[in-house]
Structure 1
Amino acid sequence: MSAAVDWLSAPWEHVFMQRAFLVAVICGVVCGVIGCFVVLRGMAFIGDTVAHAVFPGVAIAFVLGVDFVLGGALAGLLTALLITVVSQNRRLREDTVIGVFFAAAFSLGIVVLSSAPGYSGSLESFLFGQILGISDGDVRAVAATGAGLLAAAFALRKELVAVSLDRESARAAGLPVFRLDMALYAMVTAAIVISLQAVGNVLVLALLITPAACARLLTDRLGAMLLLAPAIGALCSLAGLYLSYELGLAAGGLIVLVATGVFVACWLLAPRHGLLRRGR
């Protein structure tokens, strides 16, 4: 028992781990909640697109010598706005438009970076995360942004669900579908940006989608899903950090692998929708 307590408390003795735990939990909770609306909408691809859309913004910020997070946020929001506007053309499916901007954004980032030699080391933390190097200011910024996102998601939850389940009925009922689309894309962008330091651009989609997918398998009720997804996201983030501390391996990768393991368990063992239950 004493050994277990020592193992649990040891990482908390380090200030950098305390910061990492706080940011990991906040990102897990925020991405879990926002991810629920993404999964209900069936638009996981938009999360990947926004994550890649952040890339050219960071590249431009690197070339100009300004803050990476600010550049990434602006680029992500601009791409989300373009996707929302172009998607209003009913001749094009939303996933088609997303695919176009997915490739364009990442290509733009590559072109911009090709003009700046020596960029690879500076952007390593952006691509793969650097949660152990987070400062007190980063913790405050993530906490403030996360609180704002949770408040917005709570305020718009009914409207976002209505649009996610049936866009045409929502439009007929008088809901501002365009503005709600823009609000959701903006929330996805913000959730991705605050999570970049935790898991990096390459893995951030998993933190947004996987906990929500687990919750979707475990319950049919939206209220329960909105509680389960952030709980799973936070616990997986904590578990991944503990494993990183113990094994000396990459924190972002372990957080995602733990979340993936939980997803596989839910896929197999979920009470109503698990593979084994359906087989019986």
Structure 2
Amino acid sequence: MIEFLAALTDPDLPFVRYAVITGILASIPFGIIGTYVVVRRISYIAGAISHCILGGVGAGLYLQNAQGVSWFGPLHGAIVVALLAAVVLSLVSLFAKQREDSVIGALWAAGMGIGLLFLAKTPGYVDPMSYLFGNILLITQSDIYLVLLLDILVVGTIGIFYNTFLAICFDEEYAGLRGVHTHWFYLVLLCLTALTIVLLVRVVGIVMVIALLTLPAAIAGNFARSVRQMMVLAILLCTIFILAGLSTSYSLDLPSGPVIIVIAAAVYLLVALGMKFLRPRSI
């Protein structure tokens, strides 16, 4: 811990400060969108979107390095694929609910497979580990601006349509009867989830981003009395997990992403067991 605090003030180690700032800013969309993902019970859809991202990352690297398309990078490819996956999953949920699981599984596997094929054909050495498992210490100043922009987008959208999103999460049918365009708002929610996953995948990687998206909100759900409280607690917990993971990984020279997830998972298990044994038993 002392080593980590010393690194924060070291002018020669700006990446440590970038990682902390990004982690704190990333906690806001993670907590807000993660709450809706948990309440709406669409974590499997968020997982499919996150794994599809590798296809966009691979395509972006291939176009940039093999075809000379310098303006189209892995981040652009990830955004395009994530939003496309959100649209496809939204349409499937609307028109083919009985086949939703099959489509989710297909997108999940196809995204990973296509991404690995693009990476294999990209000239030069491409390390997929930083995309699969994340490396928050590689974050640059431009990444901070992107996360800040996402914060503004998420907070602004949820602030304006908070009650509407709440309605489609708890009683979509009743909201539709009241004249709410539930399918459009569900699509917007999936798109916000996709953007959150894309821009924050650098924190813990494609494979584990779904855990950081859902675990803080799932823990907060045990203590919150409203969705707003759940969001605030999820943001605080996400911040704590990221900062604790960063300090621990830096001190022990371990990858930051897996350490963050292990800490979050350990707290979730402790809370789940604690709630099970401390909850009063009915007679």
- Structure 1 and Structure 2 fold alike (TM over 0.5): yes
CA–CA distance in structure 2, aligned partners of residues 91 and 79 of structure 1: 16
Distance 1:10 1:214, change over 3 A: same
Counterpart in 2 of 1:87? 93
Question: Could you say what secondary structure the match of 1:87 adopts?
Answer: helix
- 1:237 paired with 2:242, answer yes
- 1:24 paired with 2:23, answer yes
CA–CA distance in structure 1, aligned partners of residues 250 and 151 of structure 2: 25
Do the aligned partners of 1:211 and 1:229 also contact (CA within 8 Å) in 2?
yes
Distance 1:89 1:119, change over 3 A: farther
Counterpart in 2 of 1:199? 204
CA–CA distance in structure 1, aligned partners of residues 263 and 109 of structure 2: 29
The answer for unaligned runs of 5 or more in structure 2 is 65-71
Deviates more, 1:56-65 or 1:144-153: 144-153
Which of the numbers 130, 133, 137 marks the counterpart of 2:135? Answer: 130
Do the aligned partners of 2:63 and 2:73 also contact (CA within 8 Å) in 1?
no
Counterpart in 2 of 1:46? 45
What is the Cα-based RMSD across aligned positions, in Å? 1.9
Distance 1:163 1:58, change over 3 A: same
TM-score normalised by L of structure 1? 0.90
Which of the numbers 216, 221, 227 marks the counterpart of 1:216? Answer: 221
Which of the numbers 182, 185, 193 marks the counterpart of 2:187? Answer: 182
Shift in Å at residue 208 of structure 1? 0.5
Do the aligned partners of 1:163 and 1:170 also contact (CA within 8 Å) in 2?
yes
Which of the numbers 164, 172, 177 marks the counterpart of 1:167? Answer: 172
Distance 1:80 1:119, change over 3 A: farther
Shift in Å at residue 222 of structure 1? 1.2
Distance 1:163 1:110, change over 3 A: same
- 1:115 paired with 2:121, answer yes
CA–CA distance in structure 1, aligned partners of residues 145 and 229 of structure 2: 29
Structure 2 letter corresponding to 1:168: E
Shift in Å at residue 217 of structure 1? 1.7
Shift in Å at residue 29 of structure 1? 2.3
Counterpart in 2 of 1:12? 8
Cα deviation code 1:113-169 (max 9, x no counterpart): 343365542x33211212112111111121122222122122222111211112222
Question: Could you say what secondary structure the match of 1:92 adopts?
Answer: helix
Shift in Å at residue 69 of structure 1? 1.0
Deviates more, 1:112-121 or 1:25-34: 112-121
Identity %: 29
Do the aligned partners of 2:31 and 2:234 also contact (CA within 8 Å) in 1?
yes
Shift in Å at residue 109 of structure 1? 2.4
CA–CA distance in structure 2, aligned partners of residues 90 and 48 of structure 1: 19
Question: Could you say what secondary structure the match of 1:202 adopts?
Answer: helix
Do the aligned partners of 1:28 and 1:234 also contact (CA within 8 Å) in 2?
yes
Cα deviation code 1:187-239 (max 9, x no counterpart): 11111111111111111111101101111122232121011011100111000
Do the aligned partners of 2:4 and 2:250 also contact (CA within 8 Å) in 1?
no
The answer for unaligned runs of 5 or more in structure 1 is none
Alignment of 1:253-264 (within 5 A): 253-264=258-269
Counterpart in 2 of 1:37? 36
Counterpart in 2 of 1:100? 106
Distance 1:119 1:75, change over 3 A: farther
Do the aligned partners of 1:32 and 1:207 also contact (CA within 8 Å) in 2?
no
